[in-house]
Structure 1
Amino acid sequence: MPLVRIDLQKGKDAKYRQKAGQIVYQAMVEATGVPNNDHFQIIGEHSAENFIFDPDYLGIHRSSDLIIVQIFFNEGRSVAQKQALYKAIAEGLSASLQVRPEDVFISLVEVKKENWSFGNGVAQYAA
């Protein structure tokens, strides 16, 4: 069960934002085995004054086209799967939306299965 947040500066149209979400979802399915239909995303736009980032952290030059992707996952994916995911997202955004790979920031948050409730106040994955 991933939950994905995609954040970017205001100014991109709905089609762009939806395509970004599709690319991230498809990369998760292909690189990490996320099941079909396990698709939960929040896409947020922010004014420049509320979208704060270092333009040169770690020697990577970022522009105002930065997209921040945060994925909450169940624990257990390998480093190789995570690396494949990062690559697939960056390449997909670059190919389809002309986002520079330098402008793709990804953060994974791994949680235990019992930390999810899909509704009804029940921890469906709890042992």
Structure 2
Amino acid sequence: MPLTHIALRAGKPEGYRQAICNSFHRAMHETFNVPEDNDFVIITEHEAANFRYDPAYLGMVRSDDLVFIQITANNTRTVEQKKVLFHRIAELLGEDPGLRSDDVFVSLVEVEKENWSLGRGFAQYA
């Protein structure tokens, strides 16, 4: 049950933002065994003054097309699965909408299963 927050600079068209969501969800489905109907994503757009990043940290060449992707998910995946996920996200976002891999910043926040309530006030995974 991932919940994903994607942040990017304001001004991209809806089709571009939807391509990010679609490519990201495909990567999650292929590498993290996320079901097709398990698609929960929040996109926020930020003006330049509210979107800071170091363009060269760790040898990257980041541009204003940078996207921050923060995934909150159960802590059930191996390190190898995480590496495959990160690679596949960058690969698919490179295909559509055409992001450079240096502009794909992913953070995975892992939580225990009992920390979710998906509606009705129930802890569905506890």
TM-score by length of 1: 0.96
Give the superposition deviation at 1:9. 0.1
Distance in 1 (alpha carbons) for counterparts of 2:40 and 2:96: 21
Instruction: For 1:27-42, list aligned pairs within 5 A.
Output: 27-42=27-42
How is 1:1-127 mapped onto 2 (pairs within 5 angstroms)? 1-126=1-126
Matched letter for residue 87 of structure 2: K
- Hey, what's the Cα distance between the residues in 2 that align with 1:54 and 1:9? 14
Shift of residue 124 of structure 1?
A: 1.0
Please report the RMSD computed on the Cα atoms of aligned residues, expressed in angstroms: 0.7
State the alpha-carbon separation in 1 of the partners of residues 92 and 125 from structure 2. Answer: 31
- Distance in 1, matches of 2:12 and 2:95, equals 17
Superposition misfits of 4+ residues, deviation over 3 angstroms: none
Distance (whole Å) between structure 2 residues aligned to residue 19 and residue 102 of structure 1: 18
**Offset of 1:61 from its aligned partner?**
1.4
SS at match of 1:97: coil
For the residues of structure 1 that align with 2:19 and 2:48, how far apart are their CA atoms? 22
Structure 1 distance, partners of 2:36, 2:16, is 22
Offset at residue 36 of structure 1 (A) = 2.0
- Residue aligned with 1:54, SS: coil
Secondary structure of 2:58 counterpart: helix
Unaligned 5+ segments in structure 1 are none
User: How many Å separate the matches in 2 of 1:100 and 1:35?
Assistant: 27
Residues 81-125 of structure 1 deviation map (CA, whole Å, 9 limit, x = unaligned): 111111111011111222110000000000000000011111111
Identity over aligned pairs, percent? 51
What amino acid is the match of 1:107?
S
Q: How many residues align?
A: 126
State how far apart, in whole Å, the 2-side matches of 1:97 and 1:68 are.
15
